[in-house]
Chain A
Amino acid sequence: MGQTVDIAEGLFVDAPHPALIGGRHRETGGIVFPCPAGSADHEPVVLPRRGTLWSWTVQRFRPKTPPYAGPEEFTPFALGYVELPGAVIVEAPFTDVAFDELRIGMAMETVLVPLNGKVRTFAFAPVREG
């Protein structure tokens, strides 16, 4: 595999079991994702890496470039929101899942995937035990 760079700094922890980095409001305790850059009010916090599917759709046409940086040869992809328990509901593309498999409430986990040949980003994939 060639050299890849992360889509942005400070979004996720690169580990065998990756996790996203949110921002916790120092006074209210409310959590947002991503952690607001340069905000004195928020401190970075590693988010639960597993959660449940909150809502979803399928992107059936290639989004316009710019801003989309995915491959020219477009393949429809699922995306949606996953509720990370007790923390925040995060939007991301889904990977490794058939469209007819998607159900609100299903268990999902954080993964890192290539966006194109050069850039790595985060996504959610179904939890597959065993």
Chain B
Amino acid sequence: MADVFIVGIGIHPFGRTEGRSGLHQGAFAIRQALDDAGLAWRDMQFGFGGSDSAGNADTVVNEMGLTGLPIINVRNGCATGGSSLIGAWQAIASGQYDVGVAFGFDKHPRGAFNAMPAEYSLPDWYGEAGMMVTTQFFAMKLQRYMAQHGISHAALGRVAQKAFDNGVHAPHAWRRSPVDLDTILSSQMISDPLTKYMFCSPAEGGVALILASEKKARAMGRAAIRIRAAVTRTRPPGSFEVFSPSLSVERGGAPTLLASAAAFEMAGIGPEDIAVAQLQDTESGAEIMHMAENGFCRDGEQEQWLAEGWSRIDGRLPINTDGGCLACGEPIGASGLRQVYENVVQLRGAGGGRQVPGDPRVGYTHVYGAPGISGVTILER
């Protein structure tokens, strides 16, 4: 496929913004991305956008201008941003367009996500009995992983501690104060073994990326950050996913294993080539498990990684350099694109206090969500 470049990035701060709709936060991000690229809305030949619970992306034309451009609405759970990016990438790689925008935004009510069984093709009794709760799944996947691979409670705390340390330096992060390890470990237990500070919260925010063909990017003097891979995958047989009344005794793979392998194959590189990674950290155990599922270490090695600080900004593979979902919160439609935004910042060397040293050239992102979907991107400068 033809090369496609990310030539502009914009973000609306994550967290809570009273009085501003999710769509307006998306429009804010688009304006910032256009400014960054030196382009105007009328230059956009198309858009792919989405939100999970903040309305139709194509209505952003009310804010941005009635230029008649085509916008495709994407609603793909936690992979909404990744799917928008894939759509925009393919639209340019195919040769159909030269420049367009991928964007995502969201605005969720406070508290845990409240899902209804029927939305997931499940019987009502599953929710009535108290099992329609996403936090339970993350806790149970982690509980078994910790027992099988010798991960300690302290390691869970270190992931959260790192996230809040990194968030201090990310202007778009929601939580921007350090939290010490003891406070994290001894805070209120939410779903054993995970405490309050180890879970991300549903939040608000918006992200936009301007994509361009090589010809257009060169004409703009912006042919720097290239998309090497962008893939999503759903679950294979035998995977363990949220909202599962039963699991097969024949244990199998996971959507992240599929997405990661496909992305590395597409890019023609391996985990050892990655200089900075943003991995889905719905809770701190998810980051630990996703380190292995994405091929960056073997199961159980995370204990040493965290004890030695290897995933910190100055470590061998910095992970979640803007504090990830733990520090930024999770607006579903924007979360995956925030990871890509952060990697562009890092590859440009514009990370300020959170900049990964050593002139990083290759960045990796990974999102994961219900009902068993995973998205991976690889960018190269």
Contact = CB atoms under 8 A, between A and B. Distances in A.
Interface of A: 7-8, 11, 22, 30-34, 37, 54-61, 63-64, 66-70, 77, 79-81, 83, 86-93, 99, 104, 115, 119, 121
B128 interface: yes
Contact of B191 (A59, A66, A89): A59
A80 B147 CA distance: 14
Interface in B188-225: 188-193
A80 B140 contact: yes
A34 B245 contact: yes
Interface stretch (B49-57, B111-119, B162-170): B111-119
Contact of B131 (A30, A33, A88, A91): A91
A57 B248 contact: no
Nearest to A83: B249
A20 to B, nearest CB: 9
A7 B133 CA distance: 18
24 contacts: A8-B125, A55-B143, A55-B144, A56-B140, A57-B191, A59-B130, A63-B130, A63-B133, A64-B112, A64-B114, A67-B128, A69-B128, A70-B128, A70-B130, A80-B143, A88-B247, A88-B248, A89-B246, A89-B248, A91-B247, A92-B131, A93-B129, A104-B144, A104-B147
Contacts of B136: 57, 59, 79
A31 B250 CA distance: 10
Contact of A66 (B116, B144, B249, B250): B116
A67 B249 contact: no
Closest 8 CB pairs of A and B: A67-B127, A57-B139, A69-B128, A33-B246, A55-B144, A89-B247, A55-B140, A8-B125
Nearest to A8: B125
Contacts of A22: 246
A99 B159 CA distance: 25
B141 A121 contact: no
Contacts of A67: 116-117, 124, 126-128, 132
Given A64-B112, A88-B246, A91-B244, A58 B192 contact: yes
A70 B129 CA distance: 7
A81 B126 CA distance: 14
